[in-house]
Amino acid sequence: MVGASLAAVWGRSGARIAVVERDLSEPDRIVGELLQPSGVEKMKALGLYDALTGIDAQSVPGYAIVLGSGKDERIIRLPYPNRPAPESNHAEQRFNDRFTGRGLHNGRFLMNLRRAAAANRSVQLIQGNVSKLLQRADGTITGVVYTPTASGKYNTNPYGDRGRAHGLDSKTIDSKAEAGAGPGAEALRAAIEKPASNQEIPLRASLTVVVDGCLSVFRRPLFQPNVGCRVSRTLITCAMGCDATKLMACAVLCCFVFCCVLYD
């Protein structure tokens, strides 16, 4: 996500940028399904607001806290704050003059960002697995070493037999469908179709940005102290136990030992 966004913005200046992703096909996973209002505003500031269109993104006016159940159930709504008066003229962005978030499909959002990056001629999308960082004797990082990978190797169905029963079978890659249409689509398609190999390829740059997720193999040696991560779970045909129409697309269930955030 960060790599595609940086490439989309920095690529406009003509800077030569290479983005290495393990799999350029659309991921199907639950992560970052709610873009907070500050994120929506930042997308506008970066000129990337179009990445939120055409992906069935839903306007989210705030949170709902669900306490108790049955007759004792209480729902406390926590709306996002009002917009400052000078900004309230953006009618297409407002929800009763409040800031709004976006509930969205992470994979579709990411593919839009990748197309935005690929639309810059100076940006090269590479499908490969980075195995190590290139470093000088003084520790300065000068690039990476990667091995080309095949599409669909990592973005497969994580739900097993239960998922297959609901049509969530392992992914078959259609490069044209994955790449979509519009600016950057052909470059993205070419990157998806590039065959895998066992060849290790060095890639050198004056600046290397490492953003390989919560399971990063590079974070431990680069950062101290180590940071934590979160756990998420997809529930299929799960009864909510409350009237979902009362919620704001996102709810927080408060238990004795933890809080659980649900996205509808």
Query: What would the pLDDT profile of 54-72 be if each residue is shown by its tens digit?
Result: 988 888 888 888 888 778 8
Q: Are 142 and 201 contained in the same domain? A: yes
Residue 167's pLDDT band, with cuts at 50, 70 and 90, is very low
Q: Is 226 part of a structural domain of the chain?
A: no
CA dist 111 → 60, 120, 161 (Å): 21, 15, 27
Q: Are 137 and 185 contained in the same domain? A: yes
pLDDT tens-digit readout, 113-134: 999 999 999 999 999 999 999 9
Q: Are 67 and 165 contained in the same domain? A: no
Q: Are 14 and 110 contained in the same domain? A: yes
Per-residue pLDDT, 257:
44
Average pLDDT, the chain: 76
Token pair in block for residue 169: 């079978």
What is the b/e burial string over 211-228, where b = at least 16 CB atoms within 10 angstroms of the residue's CB? ebeeeeebbeeeeeeeee
Strand runs labelled E in the chain = 17-21, 34-35, 58-60, 62-67, 74-79, 101-103, 123-135, 141-148, 201-204, 250-254, 259-263
Give the structural domain span for 124.
2-60+102-212
**Number of domains the chain contains:** 2
pTM check: above 0.85 = no
Per-residue pLDDT, 228:
56
CATH number of the domain where residue 120 is located: 3.50.50
Q: Are 68 and 55 contained in the same domain? A: no
Q: Is 82 part of a structural domain of the chain?
A: yes
Q: Is 44 part of a structural domain of the chain?
A: yes
Residue 46's pLDDT band, with cuts at 50, 70 and 90, is very high
Q: Are 70 and 160 contained in the same domain? A: no
Per-residue pLDDT, 18:
93
Q: Is 113 part of a structural domain of the chain?
A: yes
Q: Are 66 and 56 contained in the same domain? A: no
Q: Are 109 and 149 contained in the same domain? A: yes
Q: How far apart, in whole angstroms, are the C-alpha atoms of residue 219 and residue 6? A: 19
Q: How far apart, in whole angstroms, are the C-alpha atoms of residue 205 and residue 6? A: 15
Q: Are 138 and 259 contained in the same domain? A: no
- 243 versus 132: the higher-pLDDT residue is 132
Q: Is 170 a residue whose pLDDT tops 60?
A: no
Q: Are 163 and 38 contained in the same domain? A: yes
pLDDT tens-digit readout, 174-226: 666 666 777 778 888 888 778 888 899 999 999 999 887 767 778 777 766 55
Per-residue pLDDT, 65:
81
Q: Are 168 and 208 contained in the same domain? A: yes
Q: Is 107 part of a structural domain of the chain?
A: yes
pLDDT tens-digit readout, 76-127: 888 888 877 655 454 444 445 678 899 888 889 999 999 999 999 999 999 9
Q: Break the chain down into helix, strand, coil percent, rounded to 5.
A: 30, 25, 50
Q: Is 122 part of a structural domain of the chain?
A: yes
Q: Are 200 and 72 contained in the same domain? A: no
Residue 79, preceding bond cis, omega within 30 degrees?
A: no
Q: Is 228 part of a structural domain of the chain?
A: no
Residue 45's pLDDT band, with cuts at 50, 70 and 90, is very high
Q: Is 261 part of a structural domain of the chain?
A: yes
Location of structure tokens 């989210």: 60
